[in-house]
C-alpha cells in the first residue's frame, strides 16, 4: 500500500489506543533536545508521565514538578507549607510517593526542613 493509505489505516486502527494527545512532528522531535523542552510541553510531560508510570517511577516527575512550583513561591508562609508538603509526600520514610534518595541526603533534608528557603 502507498504511505498515505497505510497512515490512514494505522490512524483508524490505533486512534483509540493512544495514551496521550500527539503534538505535531516538529514539537515531538524537539523533545529530544532536552528534558526541559520535553517537560515544558504539555503533551511531552503527559507522555513522560505515562512512561514513568509504566516503569513504576511516576513519583520522580511529580517530585520535580512540586520542586519547580516551590522555587517560584515567594510568600514565606507558603514556602514553609509547600516544603512540609513536599517532605511529607516525597521525602520522609514511607512517604506515599517516596522518591529514591540516599540516607545522607534524606537525613540532611530532615534536619533542615524546619527552616526551608
Domain hosting 75: range is 59-112
- Are residues 69 and 103 both part of a single domain? yes
For every residue of the chain, DSSP letters joined together read --HHHHHHHHHHHHTTT-SSPPPPHHHHHHTTT-HHHHHHSHHHHHHHHHHHHHTT-THHHHHHHHHHHHHT---HHHHHHHHHHHIIIIISTT-TT-----HHHHHHHHHHTTS--
Query: Domain boundary at 54, 74, 90, which?
Result: 54
pTM of the model: 0.67
Look at residue 52 in the predicted model and tell me its pLDDT. 87
Q: Is residue 117 a part of any domain in this protein?
A: no
Look at residue 27 in the predicted model and tell me its pLDDT. 84
Q: Is residue 25 a part of any domain in this protein?
A: yes
Total tally of structural domains belonging to the chain: 2
CATH of the domain at 104: 1.10.167.10
Query: Taking 90 as the threshold, does the pLDDT of residue 89 lie above it?
Result: yes
Look at residue 14 in the predicted model and tell me its pLDDT. 45
| Nine cell digits for residue 53 | 508510570
Mean pLDDT value across the chain: 83
Look at residue 6 in the predicted model and tell me its pLDDT. 47
Amino acid at each position: 500500500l502507498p504511505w498515505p493509505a497505510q497512515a490512514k489505516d494505522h490512524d483508524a486502527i490505533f486512534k483509540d489506543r493512544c495514551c496521550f494527545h500527539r503534538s505535531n512532528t516538529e514539537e515531538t522531535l524537539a523533545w529530544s533536545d532536552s528534558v526541559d523542552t520535553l517537560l515544558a510541553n504539555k503533551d511531552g510531560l503527559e507522555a513522560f508521565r505515562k512512561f514513568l508510570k509504566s516503569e513504576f517511577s511516576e513519583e520522580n516527575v511529580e517530585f520535580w514538578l512540586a520542586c519547580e512550583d516551590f522555587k517560584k513561591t515567594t510568600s514565606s508562609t507558603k514556602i514553609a507549607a509547600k516544603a512540609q508538603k513536599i517532605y511529607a509526600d516525597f521525602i520522609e520514610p514511607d512517604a506515599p510517593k517516596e522518591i529514591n534518595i540516599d540516607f545522607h541526603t534524606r537525613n540532611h533534608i530532615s534536619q533542615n526542613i524546619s527552616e526551608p528557603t
